[in-house]
Amino acid sequence: MKIAVDCRMLGMSGIGVYLENILYYWLETNKAHSFVLIGDEKKLSKLKFGENCNVVSCSSSVFSFGAMFSFPVKEVNNCDVFYSPTFGIPFGIKVPVYSTIHDVVFLDVKGLVGGLSLLVRKLFYCRAIYASKKIFTVSEFSKTRIKKHFNTNKEIVVAYNGIRHDLFEWKNKKRSSDLYKNYLLYVGNIKRYKGLDILLSAVKAMSDVKLIVVGKYDDMRTSDKELLNESSLNENKVVFVGQKSDEELYSLISDAEALIQPSRYEGFGIPPLEALFLHTKVIISDIPVFKEVYSKLPVIFFENGNSNDLQKKIEGISNEKSPDCIIPEIYSYKNTAAIILKNITIE
């Protein structure tokens, strides 16, 4: 089977990482199928692929109306199927379409985007659901939210996120960051729904604690910056380090006293999984998707939105052993890639 893949988000965080890992397992282990990879040639050249792959150059944005009509659909329509790792599906595609919708955070979290931006995203979601033969998502929680907002009868297949392939390689040559000692770690976007303000409130009430925050800060919206400024935290207590390379991030996670994910909303939530893989303690909010993904793993839950409860859990981690667990196979991108490929090629 000849599969066209939208690779325009390759190299980005989030969906870009998801796509990279799907492609890693597709291209490494599947010689029975051929692939047409559509995206930035320079980024695609970093992938390992053989004679069963062709690259079609396309640098347009995924979420723009212009790109919806300027995508190289001629090359796509010479394939058997088209797969997109997100919900930006171009017009003019005549072969069966399969797509992944990771979450509907823009619809579930009020005020995340403005009125016009929200309308545009709704149109993209609707387009993806209408055009797709099957939809993939990353949790049962996201599946229920998609069904609630769009009341669709389309088949929605859950294929969980997993441990990225290069983390397995890094773990075998693990090295210390040597930058910070005895610290808590937060990894993620600095948005209100990520719950960083809850963590900052907990840390503010504690003595002798250091928090390292990994994530974008410069391009934050004013309302998000004000949310953090209200905490008035001592710079010796909280350090914003911006974005880090993958290897730097792995070192920070591995050396941390605990990774804390205080999210109010997630579609899955990958950092706690990576922390467990690296035997780092994990404290997470008890939101539904975290209960779904992590309830059988050695994590510590705190009451969502309750900074006092989070403070208690942080103060108690010194008595907790570092987690020594085997991550279930369902949380591997090898499994994710296999589920998607099976559903695409089964017809």
- Residue 199 carries which side chain, given as an amino acid letter? L
pLDDT in tens, the chain (347 residues): 999 999 999 988 889 999 999 999 998 877 789 999 999 999 998 888 778 899 999 988 888 888 888 899 999 999 999 999 999 999 999 999 999 999 999 999 988 888 888 999 999 999 999 999 999 999 999 999 999 999 999 999 999 999 999 998 888 776 666 667 789 999 998 888 999 999 999 999 998 899 999 987 655 555 556 666 655 566 678 988 888 999 999 999 999 999 999 999 999 999 999 999 999 999 999 999 999 999 999 999 999 999 999 999 999 997 777 788 889 999 999 999 999 999 997 66
Same-domain check for residues 102 and 182: no
Q: How distant is the alpha carbon of residue 152 from its chain centre? A: 24
Same-domain check for residues 175 and 118: no
The enclosing H or E element of 127 equals helix 115-131
Same-domain check for residues 338 and 318: no
Same-domain check for residues 52 and 200: no
Same-domain check for residues 50 and 151: yes
- Return all residues near 156 (Cβ < 8 A) that are at least 6 apart: 134, 135, 136, 137, 143, 146, 147
Question: CA of 170: how far to CAs of 71, 174, 239, 254, in Å?
Answer: 36, 6, 25, 11
Same-domain check for residues 38 and 97: yes
Residue 282 DSSP symbol: E
Same-domain check for residues 236 and 254: yes
Same-domain check for residues 153 and 47: yes
Number of domains observed in the structure of the chain: 2
Same-domain check for residues 57 and 98: yes
**Cross-strand bridge partners of residue 345:** none
- CATH code of residue 77: 3.40.50.2000
Domain residue limits at 131? 2-162+332-345
Handedness of CA 172, 176, 181, 183 (dihedral sign): negative
Burial code (b: 16+ CB inside 10 Å, e: under 16) for 214-245 equals bbeeeebeeebeebbeeeebeeebbebbeebe
CB distance 276 to 297 below 8 Å: yes
Same-domain check for residues 316 and 182: yes
Burial class (CB in 10 A: 0-12, 13-18, 19+), 331: buried
Place of tokens 């069963």: 52
Same-domain check for residues 134 and 197: no
- Residue 37 carries which side chain, given as an amino acid letter? L
Output phi, psi for 134, to 5 deg: -140, 155
Same-domain check for residues 16 and 42: yes
SS3 call for 91: coil
Which residue, 187, 195, 328, is CA-closest to 258? 187
